[in-house]
Structures are given as C-alpha cells and as structure tokens.
Structure 1
Amino acid sequence: MNTAEKGVVRFDNVGLRYGTDGEVLSNIAFTLYPGRFYFLTGASGAGKTSLLKLLYLAQRPSRGGISMFGSDVITLPRESLPAFRRRIGVVFQDFRLVEHLSAFDNIALPLRVSGVREADIHQPVTDMLDWVGLSHRAEARPATLSGGEQQRVAIARAVIGRPELLVADEPTGNVDPDMALKLLRLFEALNRLGTTVVVATHDVHLLRKVPDSLIMRIDKGTLSDPTGALRYPPRREFGDLPS
C-alpha cells in the first residue's frame, strides 16, 4: 500500500480523557490524505483543540491507535518525537511566540532548528514577512505587536518550513476579514505543494472560502463526516507558493 493510500495520518478508534474524568474524545477514526485541505468545525467545547493536540503530538490518546507518516506514534520512542514534530507546522490559538525574539527571528526559528544555513534563511523569511504584511515589523518583538500581527507571525513561523502537515487552531480569529482571506490563500498555496492542511474554526463563513476543502464536524467529542472527508479523496494538483 503506497503513502497516498495509507494517508499522512490515521486515527483508529481513539479516545482521550484527562485524569479520571469522562472521555472528551470518543471512538475517533479517520485518515488524512496527502494534498488535501480539511476544516475541523464544531461548537466551543466540542473537542476541536483536544483533537488538534493529538495531531501535533502534544498529547497521547487514552486508547486507540495513531499512525503518522507511516509510523505508529503510540510506540514511537520519546527521542524520536522532535524529528516527527519538525514535519508538522502548528498555529496555536495563543500564538506561543518567543518573547525575546524579533518577528524575523520567530519566523526563522523552525529553519534554524532544522539546521538550515544562515545564508539560506534571510530571503525566505523576508518573503514570508512580506506575504503576511509585516515587512515593516521585522525587528519588532511580540510585546510590541498587536494581536493580529502576532497571529500573522505565528502563521508565518508555522508554514516557513513547508511542513508535511499543517495544523491551525482558529488561525484567523485575530485578523480582519481581508487578512483572514489572504492567510487562507497562503494555506491553500502550501496545500497545493502537497502539505495536508487541517484548519479548526467555528466560523462557518470560512468553510465556503476554500472550494476543494473537506469538512470534519465534531460534536461532544465525536466526529461526523458531512463532505466525505473521512473517505479516500482524489489527490489535488500541486502548484507554487505565491512569491
């Protein structure tokens, strides 16, 4: 079975509970395929953020199986997790920028962690700052940025390394509608290069902005499949990121 058939991520009857409380996720089963754009939607408290934590390996499930990039992540040695996480771009709802670093250096961080030469870092980071409209704020530290500007830095940092999987938790929640659409177009461009994209949102208007997207809806910790997102979809044509 090739990678496209197996998918990038596979959940098999996954459950998640915190402590001794009841399950916040129950019997979650799906496959995410290469080159697809998924929206994860549901009411506040439905389980979106908990599911995303499993996707970016911040949380282990209480039961069930998860495979990612062809490997069983449940039995993956702890020392192998950092390398796995570098294949995943994450946009956190609370940004998680490094406070003592400039916007430029926050965006450059994934490249530096991956061992990219300094000579090869300046141009892609500069291009990304331009794309998210922050060229004039390259040297600004997070404390001096507005919430929307911090969000754009966080998104640029998540996509700068062209990850195999992008996971975004309410990525347009702190920007105006025009910037929200521009950021979605950035996600689409990355998706056309082959990155599997998962955007969690409660904004139903966003779902209409990406025509080829698939929707997974979560309600009280269980998934439904209104657009066939959990079945094997055809691959998309790949293209280039905007310059």
Structure 2
Amino acid sequence: MASIVQFENVGLRYGTGAETLSDVSFTLNTGSFYFLTGPSGAGKTSLLKLLYLSQRPSRGLIRLFGEDAVTMPRARLPALRRRIGVVFQDFRLVPHLSAYDNVALPLRIGGYEEREIETPVNEMLAWVGLKDRASARPATLSGGEQQRVAIARAVIGRPEILVADEPTGNVDPDMAARLLHLFDGLNKLGTTIVVATHDIHLLSRIPHANMMRIDRGRLSDPTGALRYPPRRSEMGGSE
C-alpha cells in the first residue's frame, strides 16, 4: 500500500526544555488502522498535534499526502488540514452552535449547499444516538454527548485521515463499541485511522489494526507494524 504519512527523525521541543518527542520515524499506509498507546505523558497528544498540523516539529521531516508539511507555506496548510478529521480530547465544539450546526460545520466550510447537508448530518446524529438533541447547544450536553458530537463532526466529511485522541474516554462501553464500529466502517471506505488510547481492551475490537507504542517521547516500534495482541511487557502503565 502507498504511504499517506511519513515521519523521519522528527523531534519536538516546547520552549527551551527537553525534547517532548525524539527521533520519531514511522510510515502510515493509506487505508490502515492504527492504535497509538503509551503511558500518561509519553507524548501521544504531541504526536497527534504534529499529525493534524496543529504543531510544527523542531526538527525532522513530515510528509502528508506526499507533500512536505514542514516547509510548506502556512497559507497552504488550511487546505491540507481539511483532508484530516480530528477528534480532540477537549471536544472543541463551537459553543454558540447547536449539535446539528457543529456537525454540519465541515460540510459548510467545504462549500456544500444546505439541501446537501441535512440528510447526512441527521443520519450521523442518529448514528451516535443524538437525533433528539440536534438543537441542543454544547453547554446543555453531557460530556459523553459532547464527545459524540465531536466525533460526528470529525467523520461527517469522510476525511482521508482521522486522528482521534481518547475518543471513547467519556462514553459507556456500549457506545464505545458503536463508535469504534463507526471508525472501522470509515476505515473500510479508505480512511486512514489513528486512535490514541490508554484502554487496551479497545485493541481487540479491531483485530486488523496495527499498534504503535510511545514512551518518553520515543516509539518502541519505529515501523508502526506491531500487531494486536502485544506482549504484556509492551503495554506498560495506563494513561
């Protein structure tokens, strides 16, 4: 399979402190599913920020969709970001918009007409169990409901890459299984999926997924090819 993401000797440093990520190298293949695991503070969220272009590395090469994302002019980055769906750990919903309008936002930004938006948005809200909460604003939703709106918004446009940071952290086990089924279905349509999680039980639900483990800012398997189930010694602590 062709690669969609390439990291070569990537380092990330915030300010003048020690590197948060060091010599990170891996390749993600188009249409594959990856779990990113590791203990709290290992660098998972920092790695995801580089993947969805929220942060630029301190050193090294990052190629996305065959393009150099490090030296690319900033004016071109928004177009690249629109090809990536992101589920943030803190949701980042637009507070003055309803659940419906938050989910519809990527389609509106993409230039879709309102008549093209209504059906897919309503179907997505129904899929995540929020059909009856379409008009609710984020402040009136529970944490789990906000999480589901954030996931619906991330996947509504069928992104080429979906990056999810602890996407099942605020939902019950049944909804977690349903959301993973949604990710798996999106993956089978061709989207490359990267899910950061500390919940090792999720790994068994996507048996064809690869696993990458990060610890102290370094990948323990630079090829990104570890398969589930990993050895117990590879799992380490929880988030």
Which residue in 2 is equivalent to 1:54? 50
Distance in structure 2 (CA, Å) of the matches to 1:216 and 1:229: 5
User: Residue 203 in 1 paired to residue 199 in 2?
Assistant: yes
* TM-score, normalisation: structure 1: 0.91
Which residue in 2 is equivalent to 1:94? 90
What amino acid is the match of 1:115? Answer: G
User: Residue 151 in 1 paired to residue 157 in 2?
Assistant: no
What amino acid is the match of 1:55? Answer: L
Offset of 1:35 from its aligned partner?
1.0
1:121 counterpart SS class: helix
2:206 counterpart SS class: coil
What amino acid is the match of 2:197? Answer: T
Offset of 1:32 from its aligned partner?
0.7
Which residue in 1 is equivalent to 2:179? 183
Which residue in 2 is equivalent to 1:170? 166
Which residue in 2 is equivalent to 1:229? 224
Identical amino acids, percent of aligned pairs: 71
User: Structure 1 regions of 5+ residues with no counterpart?
Assistant: 232-243
What amino acid is the match of 1:21? Answer: G
- Deviation sequence 1:11-52 (CA, Å, 0-9, x none): 000000000001010000001111110000000100000000
Distance in structure 1 (CA, Å) of the matches to 2:95 and 2:206: 33
Which residue in 1 is equivalent to 2:234? none
CA contact (8 A) 1:31 1:230 kept: no
Distance in structure 2 (CA, Å) of the matches to 1:214 and 1:104: 33
Which residue in 2 is equivalent to 1:31? 27
Distance in structure 2 (CA, Å) of the matches to 1:230 and 1:29: 12
Which residue in 2 is equivalent to 1:241? none
User: Structure 2 regions of 5+ residues with no counterpart?
Assistant: 227-239
Spell out structure 1 runs of 4+ moving beyond 4 A.
none
Q: Figure out how many residues of one structure are paired with residues of the other and give that number.
A: 226
Offset of 1:230 from its aligned partner?
4.1
What amino acid is the match of 1:53? Answer: K
2:42 counterpart SS class: coil
Distance in structure 2 (CA, Å) of the matches to 1:158 and 1:42: 23
Which residue in 2 is equivalent to 1:142? 138
Change (3 A) 1:47 1:167: same
CA contact (8 A) 1:8 1:70 kept: yes
CA contact (8 A) 1:91 1:155 kept: yes
Offset of 1:75 from its aligned partner?
1.1
Indicate the RMSD between aligned Cα atoms, in angstroms: 1.1
2:212 counterpart SS class: strand
Which residue in 2 is equivalent to 1:235? none
Offset of 1:59 from its aligned partner?
0.3
1:83 counterpart SS class: helix
